[in-house]
Amino acid sequence: MKQEKYQFRDIERKWQQKWRESGAGRADEKSGRPKYYALAMFPYPSGNLHMGHVRNYSIVDVIARFQRMRGRNVLHPIGWDSFGLPAENAAIKNQTPPADWTRQNIARMREQLREMGISYDWEREVTTCQPDYYRWTQWIFLQFYRHGLVYRKKAAVNWCPSCATVLANEQVVDGACERCETAVTKKDLEQWFFKITDYSERLLNDLDTLPGWPEKVKTMQRNWIGRSEGVEAKFRVEGRAEPVTVYTTRIDTLYGASYVVLAPEHPLVPEIISGTEFEAPVLAFIDKMKHLSEITRTSAETEKEGMFTGAYCLNPLSGERVPLWIANYVLPEYGTGAVMGVPAHDERDFEFAGKYGLPIRRVILSSPLLPAAKDEPPAAAYTGDGVMVNSAEFDGLDNEVAWEKMADKLASQGMGERKINYRLRDWLISRQRYWGAPIPMVYCDKCGTVPVPESELPVLLPDDVVFQPGENPLARSESFVRTLCPVCGGPARRETDTMDTFMCSSWYFLRYADPHNAAAPFDRARADYWMNVDQYVGGVEHAILHLLYARFLTKGLHDFGYVAADEPFQNLLTQGMVCLDGAKMSKTRGNIVSPEEIISKYGADTARLFILFAAPPERDLEWSDKGVEGCYRFLQRVWRLARQYAERPQPDGNPADAADARARGMRRLTHATRKKVTQDLGERFNFNTAISSVMELVNALYLYKEEPASDASVAREGLETAVLLLAPFAPHITEELWAALGHAGSVHDEDWPAADEAALAADTVTIVLQVNGKVKDRVEMPPGAGREETEALAAARLEKYTRGLTVRKVITVPGKLVNFVVTANS
């Protein structure tokens, strides 16, 4: 019998063409079926798909195809996060406009995605660098501006001298620029900020409404938001009316405060040193601090340094007179920029006091049994809980109780109040860059800072720019900068900063719901139909920033009444990295396997299958060429098996009627596999075990067909089950085989195969026989066998192990095991 070979190239090309023509993957809201929104983090169009993309999109495609076969109305879109630095760098290097470079990259990567056979709704493709998209990014900026959530301030910002741009704190890694690794310095600039800190509490609390997110990601977000409960306490400064306010989470240690420290930038500093002998040295110290980058200065490794200001202040409760210092380890941005120094109970203060000879007094003892220790100098700071000492009326109290009482007392005397602080900073969105969405603001000498009216959006990026390293080309484009004031009509200048690309990627999932809307970013009804995203999948590197900003923007749009969703992503899966030789694949490291190469050698189905089979999705995946070949072999095995059946007519008879034990065993496996794969795909994302169980089914089908009395209908059912179950993973080969097996429609339009519970019923169950918990034997029994019957049989089988010993106890788990607990005769 002549057998057609598995020509993956022809097959994949053929079906991709057909899907393209039929618009497979298209989603609309008219379906009566329940919706399902499957989303992968959209790519930056760098030019080529890498294995991380292949993994990400394969995972989501399996989910999308599975949900379609299960009867859901699936939205599975794709787009391009296409603003950003690489395009501009390429423009400088090649003198090609960023738009052209980006367009070419998108075209190339779009083809690569099509070659992977991902079932996107291509009619919903969005591209953030196109005016029809960034118009609405600007519109969203204006809504936040209108609601008082956008402001401009002069701020010392992280500056990358090489990229000539401002970096957000989160884009500074180890004191260096995230992109080019140049050491970051500071620069004062007027910058636009989003008031994300207004949402700190909600961004924190609403994490509890997301059980479908990994605990790890939620923890990272919680830490990033960094909520702390403390007290702001006032220390009177001798000879001054205005007190110093310190922030502390350990107000219970107030009696142990032996000094107060201000940040060098604290506004009080110049005043208190003015005209004193301390003025010159303190100013010299501050100057020295300014020359260090914030990163160096605030690094935990930097030695603590400080200086006495000459001033003293008074403890609000004890009245004790303590010196006022400045020090490098106090940050002006956090809390009040002033802290009380409690060396006995804070490690930083302990180090600082040791260095400068400041008093160290214990106020908390770890145990009440050590009263003698209360006046001994400690060897290290004790930061734990305990009993109060040296604290006047609070002595003897549990420190947690004292905390509350001291906070109350300060409040009643007007010397302090409870305060919650967050580590989260406002979001700096200004970028001194060309290739981004222009910030829609205008500066008028008469009217001041004026937003561009919505009717004038988009503020288009100009074409007449020259790309050189350094300065923002936008600022040099006269045609762009010169404009008229929207209020008075007089001459005005445009803002030349563009937006952080995180802005563009913080709402794209809403645009997919209504991508061609020219009157609004999206229609509320359409957005409400699709939102929330049912399953979001992407790299864990976006665990903090992208996800936090997307949550923030969604909450804002919700609050302004544009969408019902308050959280964008119902379930989140963070996929692991793709590694080669134990390290993440990367261009710089040179350990790359190119998807194009794999697809041309083995086909997209094999590439997809391997990447899903080699590891569970959230774990790192070690690339293996041999493993790819194994998956290729498996698909060929499926191919050969199915082709044999393609030559035969549809068998008569119902597989459920098959009577002999072998047939029923085969059928049981077929239906057990259906059940297993359904669970693996629907309840957890264990693609690897789903695939392995289909492999087992195929192996069994090979054996079954060689049986002398094999039932054709049972074999056929098993084979078609394998093809259907593989369809989400390997969409091309299964489509081809489904047609070859005589079916008219697409395999992807078939109903997901349900397990027949009747077929799952086993003829016998294996009972494990144990002695003292160790397996000694196993026995086959009818499923409904009674306890006594089972134990009797077990006793007989285990006789040789229990002979001469005393049976203390028999543990029986019906249908599973019998365990004899024995001891030696005494």
Partner RNA sequence: GCCGAAGUGGCGGAAUUGGCAGACGCGUCGGUCUCAAAAACCGAUGGGGGAAACCUCGUGCCGGUUCGACCCCGGCCUUCGGCACCA
Question: Which 681-720 residues touch RNA, going by CB under 7 A?
Answer: 686, 688-689, 691-692, 695-696, 699, 702-703
Residue of 768, 785, 793, 795 interacting with RNA (CB under 7 A): 768
Nearer to RNA, 110 or 584 (CB): 584
- Tell which positions 249-268 bind RNA, by CB under 7 A: 249-250, 263
Beta carbon of residue 66, minimum distance to RNA (angstroms, whole number) = 17
Beta carbon of residue 766, minimum distance to RNA (angstroms, whole number) = 4
- Does residue 182 interact with RNA by CB under 7 A? no
Q: What whole-number distance in Å separates Cα of residue 255 and Cα of residue 390? A: 7
- Does residue 226 interact with RNA by CB under 7 A? yes
Q: What whole-number distance in Å separates Cα of residue 803 and Cα of residue 465? A: 94
Residue of 65, 76, 135, 297 interacting with RNA (CB under 7 A): 297
- Tell which positions 315-334 bind RNA, by CB under 7 A: 328-331, 333-334
Q: Please say whether the beta carbons of 272 and 235 come within 8 A.
A: no
Q: What whole-number distance in Å separates Cα of residue 437 and Cα of residue 498? A: 5
Listing DSSP states for 652-681 in one string gives PS-GGG--SHHHHHHHHHHHHHHHHHHHHH
Write down the residue that tokens 């596999």 correspond to: 673
CA-based nearest residue to 7, from 648, 639, 644, 720: 639
- Does residue 616 interact with RNA by CB under 7 A? yes
Helix/strand/coil for 615: coil
Residues binding RNA: number (CB under 7 A): 87
Q: What whole-number distance in Å separates Cα of residue 500 and Cα of residue 792? A: 75
- Tell which positions 5-64 bind RNA, by CB under 7 A: none
- Tell which positions 204-223 bind RNA, by CB under 7 A: 215-216, 219-220, 223
Residue of 620, 657, 749, 789 interacting with RNA (CB under 7 A): 620
Q: What whole-number distance in Å separates Cα of residue 329 and Cα of residue 263? A: 8
Write down the residue that tokens 């290739």 correspond to: 435
Q: What character string, x for contact with RNA (CB under 7 A) and - otherwise, covers 724-763?
A: ----------------------------------------
Residue of 228, 318, 390, 802 interacting with RNA (CB under 7 A): 228
Amino acid code (one letter) for 555: K
Residue of 122, 247, 285, 502 interacting with RNA (CB under 7 A): 247
Beta carbon of residue 696, minimum distance to RNA (angstroms, whole number) = 5
Beta carbon of residue 230, minimum distance to RNA (angstroms, whole number) = 5
Helix/strand/coil for 713: helix
- Tell which positions 417-446 bind RNA, by CB under 7 A: 421, 423
Q: How far is CA 563 from CA 39, 262, 511, 557, in A?
A: 18, 45, 12, 6
Beta carbon of residue 693, minimum distance to RNA (angstroms, whole number) = 7
Residue of 510, 537, 621, 658 interacting with RNA (CB under 7 A): 621
Q: Please say whether the beta carbons of 667 and 715 come within 8 A.
A: no
Q: What whole-number distance in Å separates Cα of residue 584 and Cα of residue 592? A: 9
- Does residue 364 interact with RNA by CB under 7 A? no
Task: Supply the DSSP symbol for 540.
Answer: G
- Tell which positions 75-104 bind RNA, by CB under 7 A: none
Residue of 462, 539, 630, 682 interacting with RNA (CB under 7 A): 630
Beta carbon of residue 721, minimum distance to RNA (angstroms, whole number) = 16
Residue of 614, 714, 747, 798 interacting with RNA (CB under 7 A): 614
Cβ atoms < 10 Å from Cβ of 567: 20
678 CB contacts (<8 Å, ≥6 apart)?
Answer: 752, 754, 755
- Tell which positions 527-556 bind RNA, by CB under 7 A: 540-541, 544
Q: What character string, x for contact with RNA (CB under 7 A) and - otherwise, covers 483-522?
A: ----------------------------------------
Q: What whole-number distance in Å separates Cα of residue 592 and Cα of residue 673? A: 35
Q: Tell me phi and psi for residue 82, to 5 degrees.
A: -105, 5
Beta carbon of residue 541, minimum distance to RNA (angstroms, whole number) = 7
Write down the residue that tokens 């240690």 correspond to: 253
Beta carbon of residue 711, minimum distance to RNA (angstroms, whole number) = 19
Q: What whole-number distance in Å separates Cα of residue 502 and Cα of residue 564? A: 22
Nearer to RNA, 613 or 738 (CB): 613
Helix/strand/coil for 79: strand
Nearer to RNA, 333 or 756 (CB): 333
Q: Please say whether the beta carbons of 508 and 128 come within 8 A.
A: yes
- Does residue 816 interact with RNA by CB under 7 A? yes
